[in-house]
Structure 1
């Protein structure tokens, strides 16, 4: 199914895109154009935009790493969406993404000496 057909079906809220009523619609969902790495990075960007939950960040960060993305690329997604989502969204997502990557920002901040802002 080409991109125009996929867009048309979304525009008319074609239920077969989600209920599996039509083989071609199911194929459009199960055979995406984006590779798994890119898809996981895009989903992380979407989580920043909507204020996703910690477990969602964990699942998508794992998917991105398993698909070959580096921690640096994953963090770059956070900074790349700032012009679109705004800095407050990125700041709110930062600790969630850090935890997903195994880095506890809260613990790190608590260990900094008082007055050290670096």
Structure 2
């Protein structure tokens, strides 16, 4: 792993921590972080008001939250849906109501980060 990959990985891990703290402050119970499966990786898995939620965390520099959310390509969306389906199957939750949300994070001006929570951002 070269220096740029290590930096990206460290930035991603930090953004996931920021997202987890943000979500917990809003009542989300975080169940798991960095869940890997054949389908792909899920950044965070939690319960929001009784609903199982798969969270994709996106960080973009330069203060653009839109850039973070828009960076999820159709290919990435398919991977997220596949990973969520695999998670549900593996845990025997095939009929459970769930959704995929996006947490977009960008550096802030007055606050350290600007965070946007896009609920049900990716439809299966």
- TM-score, with structure 2 as normaliser: 0.30
Greater helix percent: which structure?
A: 1
Greater strand percent: which structure?
A: 2
Considering only CA atoms, is the larger Rg found in Structure 1 or Structure 2? 1
- TM-score, with structure 1 as normaliser: 0.31
